[in-house]
Amino acid sequence: MQSLRWSLTLYAATIAPMEERTHFGFEQVSSDEKKDRVMGVFSSVANKYDMMNDLMSGGMHRLWKCRMRQCAAVRSGQTVLDVAAGSGDVALGHLKKLGASGRVILSDLNDPMLREGARRMLDDGHLPGRADCIQADGSKLPFADASMDCVSIAFGIRNFVDIEAGLAEFYRVLKPGGQFICLEFSKPVLPLLDVVYDTYSFHVIPRLGKWVTGDSESYQYLVESIRRFPDQQRFSRLISQAGFDLVRHENMTGGVVALHRGYKL
């Protein structure tokens, strides 16, 4: 018994601290636990995801995605990858811009979310070959180097265990001249907006989540993960460090959301 206790102490003192730690909202967890729990969050909300987006943002997410569509460097005949595609809003925007020819790949870690995306593609008349759904971790993409004309991601990257690994993968799969475009929650820059936004986020959103989906914890994670994500400047630096050039961002809704862009030259 004594030797078992010593072994456990030795394990805690040596092996356990070496395990990679990260954050899940405001909690410290291991990288594997974060990946599992992010999976759990999106499996839990998948069938109410679109409705909750409209409710939480008062429909604003449609305007943010509309601006993303305008700025996406997507042309007829291209191959476009939307990472963390979820229920497919961004992919549908790309398909409109592609016109008659070209292909959009929707990739997501989570099968229930990707199934929502696949259903929407089919409902909109986009068959496999034109819109393909591939389950994958955005930081380990199953695509060849320099195979994509544009890589987009909306409200996905803050859920990654390793953001830098994700950015490196986006850079790897882009063709030279290709664009990376990312929509993500960011840091409010208008006076007092942060106070109003914090009150709304921490007091209203988890209750709304509970009321609509029966799950307040997933929405508590959502607001905490937003606070943990790097602000506009720090995230821009990470994009540059991944190798992207001509990196810039624009704030929307006073910095609640930022649209980042960079190019592989």
- Footprint of ligand SAM (CB under 6 A): 38, 42, 83-87, 89-90, 108-110, 113, 137-139, 154-156, 159-160
Q: What is the DSSP letter of 254?
A: G
CA proximity to 111, closest of 156, 46, 162: 46
Distance in Å, CB of 256 to ligand SAM, minimum: 14
Distance in Å, CB of 165 to ligand SAM, minimum: 9
Distance in Å, CB of 9 to ligand SAM, minimum: 34
* Cβ distance to ligand SAM smaller for residue 89 or 224: 89
* Cβ distance to ligand SAM smaller for residue 58 or 176: 58
Max CA pair span of the chain: 72
Distance in Å, CB of 7 to ligand SAM, minimum: 35
* Cβ distance to ligand SAM smaller for residue 100 or 105: 105
Integer Cα distance of 62 and 89 in angstroms: 9
Q: By the 8 A CB rule, do 71 and 150 touch?
A: no
Distance in Å, CB of 94 to ligand SAM, minimum: 12
* Cβ distance to ligand SAM smaller for residue 158 or 264: 158
Cα–Cα distance list, 9 to 4, 13, 14, 16, 37 (Å): 9, 6, 9, 10, 27
The residue number with the shortest CB distance to ligand SAM is 86
* Cβ distance to ligand SAM smaller for residue 152 or 236: 152
Distance in Å, CB of 181 to ligand SAM, minimum: 12
Q: By the 8 A CB rule, do 57 and 33 touch?
A: no
Name the E strands within 88-173.
103-108, 131-135, 148-154
| Number of helical H runs and strand E runs in the chain | 12, 9
Angle between helices 205-213 and 31-45 (to 10 degrees): 60
Q: By the 8 A CB rule, do 164 and 241 touch?
A: yes
* Cβ distance to ligand SAM smaller for residue 59 or 77: 59
